[in-house]
């Protein structure tokens, strides 16, 4: 009998995995899709095209995109410092990166709102030069940047640790400068990891609720996000409206993530590790 590389019990583990994914992921998504189709296409389109909903989608997606772009840069720099520089207290700094994972999002939102409000320690200083943060879209970006940073750092960090130092030494021996070595040797191998971290931070920011509502101000057409609008519909017992918004959020998020993943796959082929 020919032996395979699969361990014993693969059928059982595969069955458990498929059952778990179907129960936790596919079943809720299927029910959401079916529930959103009940009102009919006319009511569905009416909900989607209402000015308040369009404004909330604009705030959510542009805030999440801006925060993900900021994290793409700052997360890369943070990972670079943690891997390449022998700093005092490096383990403490490394542990602080995971703080947004462990800290409840509501606590993070309350803390940020207290610091960046017009009467807060940082917000009062910014208010003097005419830069409001709390209760504005800038506060939303700040909160999403806080909760999304670990996704980029923890994605780039192991890849950066695995970069072959011999390639950089070879480039230097051939006369390449530090910046030339970075742009042509080191960075291309890190681009897929950076895109992955960007995608994860962006996806997390789209659905974030707890850390945003305390600092956003939640003003319709100004700083209202889609998750809050869904909660508002549920509090008004408008299950159909909430489900329709959830379905739209799911569809748009899936399309954006698919586009980013295709771009990541193209970058991986263009810059293979």
Tens digit of pLDDT for each residue in 151-187?
A: 999 999 988 888 766 666 666 666 666 777 777 677 7
Q: pTM (2 decimals)?
A: 0.82
> Is residue 8 located within the same domain as residue 103?
no
φ, ψ of residue 57 in degrees (nearest 5): -65, -40
Tell me if residue 4 falls in helix, strand or coil: coil
Could you list the residue range(s) of the whole structural domain that residue 16 is in? 1-37
> Is residue 238 located within the same domain as residue 224?
yes
> Is residue 188 located within the same domain as residue 265?
yes
> Is residue 158 located within the same domain as residue 263?
yes
Band (pLDDT 50/70/90 cuts) for residue 193 is confident
CATH number, domain containing residue 256: 1.10.3720.10
> Is residue 103 located within the same domain as residue 161?
yes
At CA 189, angle to CA 185 and CA 190, rounded to 5? 115
> Is residue 31 located within the same domain as residue 103?
no
Rounded to whole angstroms, the Cα distance separating 68 from 226 reads 17
Residue carrying the six token digits 């490096």:
90
For the record, the structure tokens of 55 come out as 């404004």
Residue among 238, 259, 141, 260 nearest 192 (CA): 260
Say what the pLDDT of residue 164 is: 66
Work out how many domains the chain is built from and give that number: 2
Q: Helix 137-161 vs helix 90-97: angle between axes, to the nearest 10 degrees?
A: 120
């Amino acid at each position: 009998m020919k032996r395979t590389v699969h361990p014993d019990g693969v059928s059982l583990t595969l069955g458990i995995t498929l059952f778990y994914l179907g129960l936790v992921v596919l079943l809720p998504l299927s029910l959401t899709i079916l529930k959103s189709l009940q009102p009919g296409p006319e009511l569905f389109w009416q909900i989607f095209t209402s000015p308040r909903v369009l404004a909330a989608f604009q705030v959510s997606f542009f805030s999440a995109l801006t925060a993900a772009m900021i994290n793409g840069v700052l997360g890369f720099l943070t990972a670079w410092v943690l891997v390449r520089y022998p700093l005092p207290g490096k383990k403490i700094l490394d542990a602080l990166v995971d703080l947004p994972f462990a800290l409840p999002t509501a606590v993070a939102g309350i803390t940020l709102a207290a610091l960046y409000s017009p009467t807060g320690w940082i917000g009062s200083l910014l208010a003097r030069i005419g830069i409001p943060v709390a209760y504005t879209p800038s506060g939303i970006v700040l909160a999403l940047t806080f909760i999304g940073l670990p996704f980029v750092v923890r994605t780039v960090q192991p890849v950066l640790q695995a970069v072959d130092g011999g390639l950089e030494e070879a480039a230097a021996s051939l006369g390449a400068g530090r910046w030339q070595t970075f742009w042509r040797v080191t960075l291309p191998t890190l681009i897929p990891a950076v895109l992955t971290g960007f995608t994860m931070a962006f996806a997390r920011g789209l659905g974030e609720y707890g850390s945003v509502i305390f600092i956003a101000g939640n003003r319709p057409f100004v700083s209202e996000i889609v998750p809050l609008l869904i909660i508002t519909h549920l509090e008004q017992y408008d299950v159909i409206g909430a489900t329709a918004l959830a379905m739209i959020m799911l569809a748009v998020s899936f399309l954006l993530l698919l586009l980013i993943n295709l771009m990541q796959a193209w970058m991986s082929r263009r810059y293979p590790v």
